[in-house]
Amino acid sequence: MRRIFMAVATVLTIAVASLGRPAVASPAAAATLVEVTNFGANPTNLRMYLYVPDRLAARPAVVVASHYCGGSGPAFHAGRPYASLADRYGYIVIYPSVTRGSKCWDVASPRALRRGGGSDPVGIMSMVDHVKQRYPVDPARVFAVGESSGAMMTNVLLGLYPDVIAAGASIAGVPFACFATTNGSEWNADCAQGRITKTPQQWGDLVRNAYPGYTGPRPRMQIWHGTNDDILRYPNFGEQVKQWTNVHGLGQTPVSTDSPKAGYTRTRYGGTGGAAPVEAISL
């Protein structure tokens, strides 16, 4: 999993950097992770941690980095390279942090799967708004990335807030609404085990129905999954591809297929370059 994440971190940072020159030639040393309180509507009592490099780009991007189950914002900050890369490229990192006992994101409740419905996504959007109000952020460069439960939240954020999030990277996640439950449970075993399959249209409709009436552009999505994942099993990789290609109005046949590293298969849909609407990396 860590190998996957480090690869994703590099790719996502290249994507951020490609839209603006690095802010500094070498990493800054003084910036630290800080907790922000009273950042706005926060129905599930999330905590907000913020990393702002000493030297920001003139119009910095923002990366929302959502942790795995059992994790926290500070743990994700310490264990992943986003802060050091922010020092190099001048972007801001938001590390939202769950406070409920499971330390897993709510990606299952009806509230969490409806725009403005409440739960964790509302608190995360408050964090984004807080940063936008206080820093000269480029609103066209707000990105989301997450691992495992955080990857599920990345899918949710892209589905609910396509007018806010420009692109996302889902690392070992599941499709938007795959984890949906009606009994209050945070866990959906059928989805986790890869037993929920739908047509591309059905998956796409779940995203579209979460924000009815929206007709604007949809975020680019990058999907990563290991074939031996025994927690969120590999069929979820293909189901995410179905969903996001349909959301973008694309077919299931990739425009290009290559192997950027031994054991990796990368497919791109709707374009051949690094800004393809959907990119999927299986390893």
Length of the chain (residues): 283
Q: What is each CA distance from 139 to 59, 126, 136, 164, 236, in whole angstroms?
A: 9, 14, 9, 7, 30
Dihedral sign, Cα of residue 266, residue 269, residue 275, residue 278: negative
For 91-114, give one letter per residue: b (16+ CB within 10 A) or e. bbbbbbbbeeeebbbbbbbebbbb
Locate 155 and state its tokens.
């899918």
Strands 265-269 and 256-258, how do they pair? antiparallel
Classify 29 as helix, strand or coil.
Answer: coil
Q: Which of 66, 109, 126, 148 is catalytic?
A: 148
> Which residues of the chain form beta strands (DSSP E)?
33-36, 47-51, 62-66, 92-97, 142-147, 167-171, 220-225, 256-258, 265-269, 278-282
Locate 30 and state its tokens.
């003084």
Whether 170 sits among the annotated catalytic residues: the reply is no
Q: What are the catalytic residues?
A: 148
